[in-house]
């Protein structure tokens, strides 16, 4: 049987709902769908009306087979404690959302351009602006508290600053001179109740590819300090685990398996 996914919204909102639709199908039929059609999704990022799914992801026919089992997953889990994610979700995510060769090439270029060394990298990820409509956003200073905790454990750590809020990038760059951010590959703006997808919509196709690549880069960092939402949960999904993650959720911080 075929599965057609039609939800449209932000890039990772599309991904989260597609993943939920796939897991719902698996839970109902205890097998994978013969075809997953997401050609109607990602409308915000299309230049024309063609299917762009495989601009971002390898076709699932070209990825590893998986053992099918019942899976506890819902797109609203973006606002859950990430340590409670069902481990069975990771193989399904990998099958349908393995990055395309083009995305892998972008990752390689960014790694070289910014001299990224993952074992010594801590990402400070703050999804702000219109996200305030959905959840409580913490003060920037709270990120500094946990970044300094990481710095105390690893004095040579480099901070990767990632945000859609210009003020966050500026503030963290001042706080941590040993830091880097993607100068040419991200879109950010002064704090407001809007999203870069609408303010800079003529660049959505180009920058959505950068953003997927950057999300995978964030997932590979030694430490992750982040909020909660679709972008953050996809960092964890690509990471494949929740260790060394500091997660802000519902006005509190969860520290997941953080060691040295």
Three-state secondary structure readout of 43-63: HHHCCCCCCCHHHHECCHHHC
Task: Give yes or no: residues 122 and 223 share one domain.
Answer: yes
Question: Which residue matches tokens 């097998």?
Answer: 31
Q: Is 108 inside any structural domain?
A: no
Q: pLDDT for 187-241, tens place per residue?
A: 999 999 989 999 999 999 999 999 999 999 999 999 999 999 999 999 999 999 9
What is the average pLDDT score of the chain? 96
pLDDT score of 259: 59
| Domain end (from 44, 71, 103) | 103
Q: Is 48 inside any structural domain?
A: yes
Q: pLDDT for 56-113, tens place per residue?
A: 999 999 999 999 999 999 999 999 999 999 999 999 999 999 999 999 999 999 999 9
Task: Give yes or no: residues 8 and 58 share one domain.
Answer: yes
| Domain end (from 103, 134, 156) | 103
Q: Is 242 inside any structural domain?
A: yes
Q: How distant is the alpha carbon of residue 256 from its chain centre? A: 17
Task: Give yes or no: residues 96 and 180 share one domain.
Answer: no
Name which residue leads in pLDDT, 193 or 259.
193
Domain total for the chain?
Answer: 2
Q: What is the extent of the structural domain holding 82?
A: 2-103
Q: Is 109 inside any structural domain?
A: no
pLDDT score of 260: 55
- The whole-angstrom separation of Cα 201 and Cα 99 is 23
Mean pLDDT of 105-125: 98
């Amino acid at each position: 049987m075929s599965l057609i996914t039609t939800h449209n919204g932000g890039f990772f909102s599309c991904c989260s709902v597609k993943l939920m639709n796939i897991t719902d199908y698996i839970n109902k039929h205890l097998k994978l769908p013969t075809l997953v059609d997401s050609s109607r999704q990602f409308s915000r990022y299309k230049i024309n009306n063609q299917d762009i799914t495989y601009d971002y992801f390898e076709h699932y026919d070209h990825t590893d087979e998986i053992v099918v089992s019942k899976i506890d997953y819902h797109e609203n889990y973006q606002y859950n404690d990430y340590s409670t994610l069902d481990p069975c979700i990771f193989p399904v995510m990998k099958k349908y959302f393995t990055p395309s060769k083009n995305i892998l090439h972008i990752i390689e270029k960014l790694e070289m351009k910014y001299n990224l060394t993952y074992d010594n990298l801590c990402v400070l990820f703050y999804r702000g602006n219109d996200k305030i409509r959905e959840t409580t956003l913490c003060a920037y200073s709270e990120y500094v508290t946990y970044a300094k905790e990481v710095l105390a454990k690893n004095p040579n750590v480099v901070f990767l600053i990632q945000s859609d809020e210009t003020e966050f990038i500026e503030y963290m760059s001042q706080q941590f001179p040993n830091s880097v951010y993607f100068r040419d590959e991200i879109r950010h703006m002064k704090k407001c109740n809007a999203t870069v997808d609408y303010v800079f919509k003529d660049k959505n196709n180009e920058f959505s590819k950068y953003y997927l690549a950057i999300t995978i880069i964030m997932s590979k960092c030694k430490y992750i300090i982040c909020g909660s939402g679709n972008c953050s949960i996809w960092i964890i999904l690509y990471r494949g685990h929740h260790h060394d993650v500091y997660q802000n959720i519902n006005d509190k911080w969860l520290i997941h398996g953080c060691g040295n």
